[in-house]
């Protein structure tokens, strides 16, 4: 993973910045979310992919791309969280107590 972060730091930074922008915008747009069944299915899929990556069950180039994809997705999700938190912190209006 350190090799991936060292070699693809620009792409990881781009994924984080894209996530930051999407997180900033997503607070404004309130779309319909995923159903409980779909979110459980996606969580299970993500957990299975992480388990496969940690167990190193996929050798060679496909395993390398799986590791890179998971790392880029983590950077994107972290950027989304930071962007939405920062937007909430900047935009929120605190009403003084009377």
Radius of gyration of the chain (CA): 17
Which residues contact residue 75 at a Cβ distance below 8 angstroms, ignoring those fewer than 6 apart? 12, 13, 15, 16, 19
Number of Cβ within a 10 Å radius of residue 1: 10
Percent above pLDDT 90 for the chain? 65
Residue with tokens 């459980």: 40
Q: What is the mean pLDDT of the chain?
A: 88
Which stretches of the chain score pLDDT less than 50? Answer: none
pLDDT at 97: 64
| CA distance to 6, 8, 50, 65, 70, per residue, from 1 (Å) | 9, 10, 13, 11, 10
């Amino acid at each position: 993973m350190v090799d991936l972060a060292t070699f693809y730091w620009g792409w990881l930074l781009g994924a984080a910045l894209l996530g930051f922008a999407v997180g900033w915008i997503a607070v404004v747009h309130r779309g319909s979310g995923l159903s409980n069944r779909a979110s459980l299915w996606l969580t299970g899929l993500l957990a299975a992919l992480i388990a496969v990556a940690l167990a190193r069950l996929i050798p060679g180039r496909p395993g390398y791309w799986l590791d890179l994809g998971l790392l880029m997705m983590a950077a994107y999700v972290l950027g989304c969280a930071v962007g939405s938190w920062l937007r909430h912190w900047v935009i929120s209006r605190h009403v003084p107590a009377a």
